[in-house]
Amino acid sequence: VRSVLVVGAGALGTLYGEALARGGADVQLLARPAHAEAIVRAGRERLTAVSDPAAVRPADTVIVMCKSHATAAALEPLSPRGVEVAVSFQNGVEKDRLLEEWCGRERVLGGSSMVGATLVRPGVVAHTLEGVTYLGELDGRVSERARSLGTAIEAGGLPVVVTDRVLSVEWSKLVHAAATVAIAALPRLPFHRALQDAELARVYVATLREGAAVAADVGVELGDWPGMFPVATIAAAETEEAVELVRERGRRMEAAGSTDVRVSMLVDMEQGRPLEHEAIHGFLVREAERLGVDAPLTSAGYDLFAAIDAARA
């Protein structure tokens, strides 16, 4: 990994860009103007930024980090020429297909990030949540290129796990996200409170099971991945036991003082930004319909988030 382009470098994309630059790669961020200008002004070593897609220089590695609904438009003006590896850490699993359409399936790696970051002000990112970054080939091979990208990210201080089951990671995160936002974003609650509420914990479990059924039908098995909720265990447990596992996670968050975690969908709602419901619920609902799987709560969540998204001021 010599040169990296981060497309849609907001908080998390910038964090990865900074890590890769620290690790020795030449990194260019494609970002909003104010952020890009602030990065340039700061004169960081091996880290630069532009806001104009026409000013992007060729890179061997592309990381896509914009909001999922902005992906197609962000990639459209960019040439895939010279790109050896492209990976996205966005929500959902459709992101991989969008990348394939842009640069061809053979160049795409699967990926999922458990890291949290927020933009403090243009040019300045806070690393708010330590977490693992998962990387792997979509077909489950173990490859040198996945390992070398992992090494490059780790050289900048972010832990990476290269896995032969990256689709399981992506689906586990997606299914968890659909259940999580239904209980934390719709009621506009801090995450630890939503998890502890008995009825919301039931909604989480029921929604998670709908997603697990869709995943099973496409041939992906959920997993208890480190850094994530043990979604495979929760989906497979007896209902009462599963609900108790969820509520216990909330109690433990509170005991650990994690009482200010707001899921990103809720932050988007509160700031009047476009929501990612298409990449999360929309994708699951369409897959459920295609496969003939019953997913009533996922579908209801989709309708309600679509309503919130449409009616925002």
Partner 1 sequence: VRIAIAGAGALGSAYGTLLARGGAEVTLIDVWREHVEAIDLHATTDYAAAADADAVIVLTKSFATADVAAALAPRLRRDAIAVTLQNGLGNDATLAAALGAERVVAGATTLGAELLGPGRVRIGPVDASLTTLASGPRVEELAAALCDAGLPVEVRADARAVIWRKLAMTASIGPLCALLRTDVATVLRHDAARRALGRAFDEIVAVAATQGVAVDADLWDHALATWSALGPHRPSIAVDVEAGRRTEIDALCGAVARLGHAPVNRLLASSIRAGEPR
Could you tell me the CA-to-CA distances from 289 to 218, 294, 304 in Å, in that order? 12, 8, 18
Tell which one of 49, 146, 161, 183 touches partner 1 (CB under 8 A): 183
Q: Which lies closer to partner 1 via its Cβ, residue 36 or residue 200? A: 200
Measured between alpha carbons, how far is 68 from 276 in angstroms, rounded to an integer? 6
Tell which one of 200, 208, 212, 231 touches partner 1 (CB under 8 A): 200
Could you tell me the CA-to-CA distances from 243 to 206, 248, 250 in Å, in that order? 9, 9, 11
DSSP state of 58: P
Measured between alpha carbons, how far is 145 from 167 in angstroms, rounded to an integer? 17
Residues 260-299 that bind partner 1 (CB under 8 A): 296-297, 299
Measured between alpha carbons, how far is 228 from 163 in angstroms, rounded to an integer? 15
Half-sphere CA count of 5, side-chain side, radius 13 A: 24
Q: Which lies closer to partner 1 via its Cβ, residue 111 or residue 282? A: 282
Structure tokens at 272: 């009047």
Provide the minimum distance between the beta carbon of 203 and partner 1 in the complex, in angstroms, as a whole number. 5
E strands, 70-203, in order: 85-88, 108-113, 116-121, 124-129, 133-137, 160-162
Q: Which lies closer to partner 1 via its Cβ, residue 155 or residue 308? A: 308
Q: Which lies closer to partner 1 via its Cβ, residue 169 or residue 205? A: 205
300 binds partner 1 (CB under 8 A): yes
Measured between alpha carbons, how far is 244 from 202 in angstroms, rounded to an integer? 9
Provide the minimum distance between the beta carbon of 92 and partner 1 in the complex, in angstroms, as a whole number. 19
Measured between alpha carbons, how far is 179 from 262 in angstroms, rounded to an integer? 14
54 binds partner 1 (CB under 8 A): no
Provide the minimum distance between the beta carbon of 89 and partner 1 in the complex, in angstroms, as a whole number. 28
Tell which one of 77, 157, 187, 226 touches partner 1 (CB under 8 A): 187
Q: Which of 188, 207, 173 is nearest to 91 (CA)?
A: 173
Provide the minimum distance between the beta carbon of 81 and partner 1 in the complex, in angstroms, as a whole number. 39
104 binds partner 1 (CB under 8 A): no
303 binds partner 1 (CB under 8 A): yes
Provide the minimum distance between the beta carbon of 293 and partner 1 in the complex, in angstroms, as a whole number. 14
137 binds partner 1 (CB under 8 A): no
Structure tokens at 281: 């619920």
Residue 49 β-bridge partners:
29
Q: Which lies closer to partner 1 via its Cβ, residue 157 or residue 187? A: 187
Placement of tokens 């201080």 in the chain: 157
Q: Which lies closer to partner 1 via its Cβ, residue 30 or residue 185? A: 185
Q: Which lies closer to partner 1 via its Cβ, residue 34 or residue 307? A: 307
Measured between alpha carbons, how far is 17 from 195 in angstroms, rounded to an integer? 33
Tell which one of 86, 125, 182, 234 touches partner 1 (CB under 8 A): 182
Binding site for partner 1 (CB under 8 A): 182-183, 186-189, 193-194, 197, 199-200, 202-203, 296-297, 299-301, 303-304, 306-311
